[in-house]
Amino acid sequence: MSQLDYETIYNIIKPCGLGPAKAKAILELSKILVKKYNSKIPASF
Protein backbone atom coordinates (compact mmCIF):
# COMPACT_ATOMS: atom_id res chain seq x y z
CA MET A 1 0.00 0.00 0.00
CA SER A 2 2.87 2.37 0.72
CA GLN A 3 4.00 2.04 -2.88
CA LEU A 4 0.67 3.31 -4.20
CA ASP A 5 0.01 6.99 -4.73
CA TYR A 6 -2.79 8.96 -3.07
CA GLU A 7 -5.00 8.94 -6.17
CA THR A 8 -4.87 5.15 -6.47
CA ILE A 9 -5.75 4.63 -2.80
CA TYR A 10 -8.56 7.16 -3.06
CA ASN A 11 -10.03 5.39 -6.09
CA ILE A 12 -9.95 2.07 -4.24
CA ILE A 13 -11.81 3.34 -1.15
CA LYS A 14 -14.06 5.82 -2.95
CA PRO A 15 -16.96 3.33 -3.32
CA CYS A 16 -16.98 2.90 0.48
CA GLY A 17 -17.68 6.60 0.91
CA LEU A 18 -14.61 7.17 3.05
CA GLY A 19 -13.32 10.17 1.14
CA PRO A 20 -10.02 11.95 0.66
CA ALA A 21 -9.08 12.20 4.34
CA LYS A 22 -9.13 8.43 4.74
CA ALA A 23 -7.00 7.93 1.63
CA LYS A 24 -4.40 10.30 3.06
CA ALA A 25 -4.50 8.56 6.45
CA ILE A 26 -4.09 5.11 4.88
CA LEU A 27 -1.13 6.31 2.84
CA GLU A 28 0.59 7.87 5.86
CA LEU A 29 -0.08 4.81 8.05
CA SER A 30 1.37 2.47 5.45
CA LYS A 31 4.53 4.61 5.26
CA ILE A 32 4.87 4.51 9.07
CA LEU A 33 4.48 0.72 9.11
CA VAL A 34 7.21 0.33 6.50
CA LYS A 35 9.62 2.80 8.09
CA LYS A 36 9.20 2.14 11.83
CA TYR A 37 8.05 -1.47 11.91
CA ASN A 38 9.80 -3.04 8.91
CA SER A 39 6.46 -3.55 7.10
CA LYS A 40 5.01 -5.66 9.92
CA ILE A 41 1.99 -4.67 11.95
CA PRO A 42 2.97 -4.80 15.64
CA ALA A 43 0.77 -6.82 18.00
CA SER A 44 0.06 -3.68 20.03
CA PHE A 45 -1.31 -1.82 17.02
Predicted TM-score (pTM) of the model is 0.68
Domain ranges in the chain?
6-37
Distance CA 9, CA 24 (A): 8
Q: What is the dihedral of CA 18, 20, 26, 32, to 10 degrees?
A: -150
Q: Indicate the burial class of 18 (C-beta count within 10 angstroms; 0-12, 13-18, 19 or more).
A: middle
Q: What is the pLDDT of residues 18-30, one digit of tens each?
A: 788 899 999 999 9
Question: Looking at residue 32, what is its pLDDT?
Answer: 92
Backbone angles phi, psi at 25, to 5 degrees: -65, -40
pLDDT of residue 23: 92
